[in-house]
Structure 1
Amino acid sequence: MQMFELIICYRKHLIADQIYEIRFTDNTLTLTNPKRPDTPKYILPLNWSSQITWQLTPKENAFGFWTSPKKFKWFHAKQSDLLILKKILSKFVSFTKVQDFYEATEHLASGSNSQVYQVVRKSDKNDNFVTKCITKEAIQNSVEKMNGIFDELNILKQLNHPNLPRFEEFYVGDGTYYIVLEYCRGQSLNSYIKELKHQLNVRIIQNILWELLQGIAYLHSLNIMHRDIKPENIILNIQEKKIDLKIVDFGLSVKLEPKKELKKCGTPGYVAPEIINLKNGKYGLESDIFSIGCVFYKLLLRKDLFQGETQNEILSANRRCQINLQNLSLIHIPITAQNLLSEMLQEDPRLRIKATSALQHSFFRENFRISTRNIPLTFSNNRASFLSQKSNTKHQQSDDEIVVDYFNNELPPINQIPVFLEYHKNGQKISQNQENLNSQSTDSKFMFRNVSKSTG
């Protein structure tokens, strides 16, 4: 728990207001009378089931929560103190009334049970946020699905890395859950590859793969598996000589625990064979490396490793895992790239290279000629530092059992757009009829990202 200066709040009463000190002890928030410091008056557990409502206006500055099933109480304090408190609590509890703090601007993506919107923070008009909206109806009182959302939140709040999105807050509405995240600007790697009219320069592939491995190595250091690495979940923002890469969509991510039983999940064409052929509920971090290998293959050849006319055909090819990399030499793929790809795509996960070892592979120490046809990307400072340090170093189940979420790039019906806020476009309020008429033309202007559903 983050330390902060003692915050004083008070409850309004007819005769005399009651003063309380806000403290954190053993995963709880307590409000204590200063005269009786050892006996908290109010206790709020610090978990996602706890909900806090905020009033942060020129006229009123308070926060409130249910102290019992029938009693909701407000506590007042200085706005500056409450903003500090809100920032700290954002990693531990749920908030209500998202419409008080954010305003939707554009629809970005659709998933099987969720929508993603770009939003603007009302307090400072900062538009560097997105909200993943999950309908409560999709959860249908399922403890497993609700725990899946909590697991996703517990993973997101740990992330602190330039190649991963920053978690902001979690809100609970009447019919929708809202996960507020950093807006990762750019386009998906899938879109980037599709738009190219030529093979990618190997120097650019080096940069993309390096950034991807940096993010995954960080996740693996926290014992977290992403479980859905694919081009649609990799966002690139390329500006002049710099590339920013973000790994997104943690709906299928899981933190490994000794006795945790894992399920089949992922996207056909990028799933590790041990997941497709799962028998004992066990697999490890190596599965992400296989998925990265599939992405690496697509970067090198601009086609999928496992192909088919339908998703079932792709999944069947993925399950058979018959990989032939011998033809890569015929199209002048560098031998170092072939070697690294081979180590990533080992069918036996025990033989697969780890993310940290992959970052030390000779592929990243090789200087390739930069083609004038491609954007001349430079390596990050971290990679440059790494290169200087290393310069002297030698170096039989049915296909439908897998959990799959297919991307749908159409806007949801207007009556399914969350009612947590008045819908806006370009800062102007519009009616639902207007939005319905304009949705098709607007839809094509924005990059859509896949939002996988949460599973255990």
Structure 2
Amino acid sequence: MQQMLIPTSSGQTSLANNANILYECIVERHHFFLNRKYYLQLTNQSLTLSEKQNQQDPKYIYQLKIDKVFTWSLQNNKIVGFQLPYQDKIKDFFGNPNDMVNLKAKMGAFVCYEKIEVFYKKEEILQTGSFGKVTKEICRFTSNRVAIKSVKCQNNQSPAIKNEIEILKRLKQSNALNILEIKEVYKDELNYYIVTEYIPGSNLKQHLDRRNKPFTMQEALSIMEALLKGLQSIHQNGIIHRDLKPANLMYHNNQIKIIDFGLACLNGKQLEQYPSCGTAGYSAPEVLNVWNKKQAYDFKVDLFSAGCILYKLLTLDGLFNSENEKETFRNNKLCQFTIKEKGSVFDLVQLLVKAEPQQRLDCCQAMEAVQALLDYKYFDVNTWYANKLKSYQKGRSQCEFNQEPQTKLSRQCSLTSIKHQEPQTERQRNLPKKIEQN
């Protein structure tokens, strides 16, 4: 296998195989008598340029960091090259415009670009808030539509913005499911600009506000299934979202995408970055009480939020609804609520919003229960949960760290409360007869 040189943190070089290569092309340095050709390779660590195709002894090594501002060269409304700092000088490189567009797209989440107005044209404002605003814009070079979140980099906000960028970058590299995809990052003196995919339609809160009646159980569970798939990807990457709510879920063509990672953190940094955060009515009580207990919470705070969302889908009411926001916050903090509705799906809500995290379902267990409710008409959530308690020790289950997707057959084997002759749902009847185990 071909190997290439990658700079280490010490500035030296180390070998990495071409599985890390994100893009390759040829660029030129223009000289007075003769242009010089370089082979360019982009990895998730660096941009290297070498006169040799195998990238041995590259002359230029540009390490990728979100703090660095990368400059593109434009001519006749085309991206024709870029500039690199080298020995206190700026070196210009030129390439095929199509290659430059592709390189820019591949490198977008690893460095900051400048002069965003040169690359994007604003179409409309989608959202405004204390954080800044989100606009829908169109790329002047590809005609692709994107969403751009602009955040002021004043009042020491830069660390929080960089944290959000790093989290979105990590999720993109892992090909996370049902997650908003970051495209590029720009910066000027006042703002950071996070460019993401544009998702048409409305967020789930807007859909709920327009509805006259709740979602059906099947519809609500299908939304939850998509939400939990995204949440599994988030947790597998060691990330806690901390602000799951209908307004942070885009809903289009029955598809869900999780957005807004402004309050997300890496597991282990819960007490370093906005320890008590989220939205009243959807936050786990251990998050709102963190200053009293001074204990780090874990991934299960997102499952509490998911339970609140499920209840909202089924009833159009908030779990902690009260006459004013202050009372809602108090009820949420004390975890005081009443669920009058009956049925297995509301039993699932109860398991997701347990006040004690140790008694709350984790993401893998919640997914198993949701899929069983979709597949089996008379699935008994409480019986299933009792069997789970026998299988897992108290506290976070190992399932949270072993979230390989289950096949239909493996789910059948694990659901001990379901009888072989149980009536099937419409979803189950529509599944292919032959089941192959991965």
- TM normalised by structure 2 equals 0.75
Q: Name the CA distance, whole Å, in 2 between partners of 1:303 and 1:259.
A: 29
Closer, same or farther: CA 114–259 of 1 in aligned 2, 3 Å: closer
Structure 1: stretches of 5+ with no match in the other structure: 369-384, 396-456
CA distance in 2, matches of 1:170, 1:23: 20
Query: Is residue 216 of structure 1 aligned with residue 224 of structure 2?
Result: no
| Aligned residue type for 1:210 | E
Structure 1 residues 153, 391: CA separation in 2 closer, same or farther (over 3 Å shift)?
A: closer
Write out per-residue CA displacement over residues 148-200 of structure 1, whole angstroms, 9 at most, x where no aligned residue.
34434434533634522222111123432211111122222222222222233
- In the alignment, does 2:78 pair up with 1:66? no
Q: CA deviation at 1:255?
A: 2.1
Report if aligned partners of 2:176, 2:234 keep a CA contact under 8 Å in 1. no
1:359-384 superposed Cα distances (whole Å, 9 cap, x missing partner)? 2114232449xxxxxxxxxxxxxxxx
Q: Which amino acid aligns with 1:394?
A: T
Q: Which has the higher contact order (CA 8 A, sep 6+)?
A: 1
CA–CA distance in 2 between the matches of 1:204 and 1:246? 16
1:53-102 CA-partner distances (Å, limit 9, x unpaired): 2235457611113346x633311122233233223212311222222322
Moved more, 116-125 or 386-395: 386-395
2:45 aligned with 1:27: yes
Contact 2:220 2:314 in 1 (8 A): yes
Aligned to 1:297: 311
Aligned to 1:328: 341
Structure-2 residue corresponding to 1:356: 364
Match of 1:160 in 2: 175
CA distances 1:387-423 after superposition (whole Å, capped 9, x unpaired): 576456434xxxxxxxxxxxxxxxxxxxxxxxxxxxx
Corresponding residue of 1:344: 352
2:23/2:41 contact within 8 Å kept: no
How far does residue 259 in structure 1 lie from its aligned partner after superposition?
9.2
> How much has 1:225 moved relative to structure 2?
1.2
Equivalent residue for 1:248?
259
Mapped partners of 1:357, 1:213: distance in 2: 10
Name the SS of the counterpart of 1:328 in structure 2. coil
Of 312, 315, 319 in structure 1, the residue corresponding to residue 333 of structure 2 is 319
Structure 2 contact 23–43 (Cα < 8 Å) conserved: no
- 1:34, distance to aligned residue in structure 2 (A): 4.1
Counterparts of 1:237 and 1:24 in 2: how far apart (Å)? 34
Q: 2:221 aligns with which of 206, 222, 225?
A: 206
Q: Which residue of 1 aligns with 2:133?
A: 115
Asked whether the equivalents of residues 261 and 281 of structure 1 are also in contact (C-alpha less than 8 Å), the reply is no
Residue 266 of structure 1, CA deviation: 0.5
Q: What amino acid maps onto 2:149 in structure 1?
A: K
Q: How has the CA–CA distance of structure 1 residues 34 and 341 changed in structure 2, closer, same or farther, with 3 Å as cutoff?
A: same
What secondary structure, in the 3-state scheme, does the structure 1 residue paired with 2:341 have?
helix
Relative distance call for 1:322 and 1:365 in structure 2 (3 A) is same
The amino acid of 1:208's aligned partner reads I
Deviation of the 1:299 alpha carbon = 1.6
Q: Does the Cα contact within 8 Å between 1:274 and 1:283 map onto a contact in 2? A: yes
For 1:236 and 1:142, locate their aligned partners in 2 and report how far apart those are by CA, in whole Å: 29
Deviations 1:294-325 (A, max 9, x none): 11111222111112333322211111112333
Correspondence for 1:179 among 186, 191, 194: 194
Corresponding residue for residue 188 of structure 1? 203
Confirm whether residue 135 of structure 1 aligns to residue 152 of structure 2: yes
Residues in 2 aligned to 1:143 and 1:164: alpha-carbon distance in whole angstroms: 23
Shift of 1:48: 0.5
Judging changes above 3 Å, is the alpha-carbon distance between structure 1 residues 30 and 3 closer, same or farther for their aligned structure 2 residues? closer
How far apart, in 2, do the equivalents of 1:153 and 1:198 lie?
Answer: 35
Shift of 1:288: 0.1
Matches of 2:144 and 2:41, distance apart in 1: 31
Equivalences, count = 365
State the shift of 1:5 in Å: 6.8
Summarize the Cα distance change of 1:355–1:388 in structure 2 as closer, same or farther, 3 Å threshold. Answer: same
Q: Please, which of 268, 272, 277 is the counterpart of residue 280 of structure 2? A: 268
1:3 aligns with 2:33: no
Does the CA contact (< 8 Å) of 1:168 and 1:180 recur in 2? yes
Q: CA-to-partner distance for each residue in 1:29-63, whole Å, 9 max, x for gaps?
A: 23334499655433322111122222354576111
Partner of 2:12: none
1:180 partner amino acid: V
Change (3 A) 1:161 1:37: closer
Q: 1:123 offset after TM fit, Å?
A: 2.4
Structure 1 residue 118: Cα displacement: 0.6
- Check the 8 A contact 2:109/2:165 in 1, yes or no: no
Contact 2:20 2:44 in 1 (8 A): no
| CA distance in structure 1 between the aligned counterparts of 2:51 and 2:267, rounded to whole angstroms | 41
Pairwise CA distance, 1:12: 2.1
Q: Distance in 2 between matches of 1:191 and 1:106?
A: 18
Q: Taking structure 1 as reference, are residues 305 and 21 closer, same or farther at Cα in structure 2, changes over 3 Å only?
A: same
Distance 1:36 1:340, change over 3 A: closer
Could you say which residue in structure 2 is the equivalent of 1:151?
Answer: 166
Alpha-carbon distance between aligned partners in 2 of 1:146 and 1:352, rounded to the nearest angstrom: 31
Matches within 5 A, 1:356-375: 356-361=364-369, 362-367=372-377
Q: Distance in 2 between matches of 1:104 and 1:264?
A: 35
Aligned partners of 1:156 and 1:250 also within 8 Å: no
> Residue 416 of structure 2: which of 384, 391, 394 is its match?
394
> Any conservation in 2 of the 1:61–1:82 contact (CA below 8 Å)?
yes
Distance, in Å, in 2 between the alignment partners of 1:178 and 1:337 is: 41
Consecutive unaligned residues of structure 2, counting only runs of 5 or more, are 1-18, 379-405, 418-438
DSSP 3-state at the match of 2:218: helix
Q: Label 1:195 to 1:95 Cα distance change in 2 as closer, same or farther (>3 A).
A: same
Distance in structure 2 (CA, Å) of the matches to 1:60 and 1:343:
54
Q: Distance in 2 between matches of 1:33 and 1:244?
A: 47
Structure 1 counterpart SS, 2:59: strand
Shift of 1:124: 3.5
CA contact (8 A) 2:171 2:237 kept: no
Paired residue type of 1:237: H
Quick check: 1:155–1:255 contact (8 Å CA) kept in 2?
A: no
Asked whether the equivalents of residues 30 and 40 of structure 1 are also in contact (C-alpha less than 8 Å), the reply is yes
**Contact residue 199 and residue 300 of structure 1 kept, 8 A:** yes
The verdict on how the C-alpha distance between 1:73 and 1:236 changes in structure 2, with shifts beyond 3 A counting, is: same
